[in-house]
A = this chain, B = another copy of it.
Amino acid sequence: MKEGPDIAYIAALIGDPARANMLTALMSGKALTVSELAEEAGVTIQTASSHLSRMDDGGLLRHRKQGRHKYFALATDDVAHVLEGLMGLAAGAGHLRKRTGPKDEKLRKARVCYNHLAGDMGTRLYDSLMAQGYVALKGEIVTLTDQGAAFVTSFGIDLDALVRKKAPLCRECLDWSERRPHLAGSLGRAFLSRFEALSWARRDQKSRAVLFSPGGDAEFTRLFPFPG
């Protein structure tokens, strides 16, 4: 009857609690097995299997078979982007699944958004890179400046390796807790990896939280000062 894409189909796919739990778990960026996702969603393996194949068909997920395991991950960054947007709407409407607690506090400070850093520290990183002239918006695309390239390399990121990949280097991603953009793309991912390699931060095993050590926090603030 109507024109345009069938948004109800996709939204309904996301709109089931069990599936939403799995998708949220996959926002960690890690590929997870059917059993792990069943556990996350609080549902038996059979139902999880059914849900996962439907989301796969719907283009939300991609999978990789490895021996007798089947690993699922979000299909694209776009999917993660939409999920983050939905989180923003849900948070804005005051529909948190759990009232704000200590865990929530950590998530707002720093967390993994698919594969890059989000939350307060994510937006601070982005703002600081902008303010120092390391990244700039050229045309519709966020680009790394010459100074930025030098900085990134000196920071220990193998820029050439990133450039060789097809994936876009820089992208904006809207943060649900800060309601401002932060850095995504392969560079965003590289920054997070580098923070972990330097032992500035480590990922919480049980949630999306990224835990900075006191020393790491200090180094981070030194290198990425507030723009104002």
Interface residues of A (CB under 8 A from B): 1-17, 19-21, 23-25, 40, 42, 58-60, 76, 78-79, 81-83, 85-98, 103-104, 107, 123, 126-127, 130-131, 136-140, 142, 172, 174, 176, 180-181, 207-208, 227
Contacts and interface: CB of A to CB of B under 8 A. Distances in A.
Given A137-B142, A139-B130, A87 B12 contact: no
Contact of A140 (B9, B104, B180, B207): B180
A3 B81 contact: no
Contact of A15 (B13, B23, B123, B176): B13
Q: Which of A21, A24, A91, A95 has the most chain B CB atoms inside 10 A of its CB?
A: A95
Kindly list the 6 A-B residue pairs having the minimum CB-CB distance in the complex, ordered from nearest: A137-B137, A12-B15, A59-B93, A8-B20, A5-B90, A11-B15
A104 B58 CA distance: 21
B14 A8 contact: yes
30 contacts: A1-B21, A2-B98, A3-B103, A3-B104, A3-B107, A4-B208, A5-B86, A5-B90, A5-B96, A6-B90, A6-B96, A7-B20, A8-B15, A8-B19, A11-B11, A11-B12, A11-B14, A12-B16, A13-B15, A58-B93, A59-B94, A78-B89, A79-B89, A81-B85, A82-B88, A82-B89, A85-B85, A126-B140, A130-B139, A137-B137
B172 A89 contact: no
A26 to B, nearest CB: 12
A37 to B, nearest CB: 12
A86 B176 contact: no
Contact of A4 (B2, B24, B79, B136): B24
B140 A181 contact: yes
